[in-house]
Amino acid sequence: MKSLMIFVFAGLLFSLVSVNYHFILFDDNLTVIRKDNQKFENTLVDARGTKSLRILLMPDLMAAGIRDQLRGRGESFNLKLSF
């Protein structure tokens, strides 16, 4: 019963986070920006090895402020990754 409650809570938490944030994986960091709309589209964007123009063509990322993030002026949470 306890494991079922933990599973349900984890699923609920995942759905709330995935509806409210974009997770963008660049070559060297993971960027989290707040979504402009409440959809599951472009929740996880793999931008490793892509040009910034390809990311700028996604309208929901543009509305969330990815242009400012790519220029270094946006508000987001960056997590540096090292492998």
DSSP state of 50: -
Write out the DSSP string of 67-82.
HHHHHT-S--EEEE--
Looking at the DSSP bridge assignments, the partners of residue 73 are none
Q: What is the pLDDT of residues 23-66, one digit of tens each?
A: 888 888 888 888 888 887 888 888 888 777 788 888 888 888 88
* Cβ atoms 34, 57 nearer than 8 A: no
Which pLDDT score, from 0 to 100, does residue 66 have?
82
Closest CA to 33 of 74, 72, 80: 74
The H-or-E segment that residue 41 falls in is none
Residue 43 one-letter amino acid: T
What letter represents residue 18's amino acid? S
Q: How confident is the model at residue 77 (pLDDT cuts 50, 70, 90)?
A: low
Q: Give residue 52's pLDDT.
A: 75
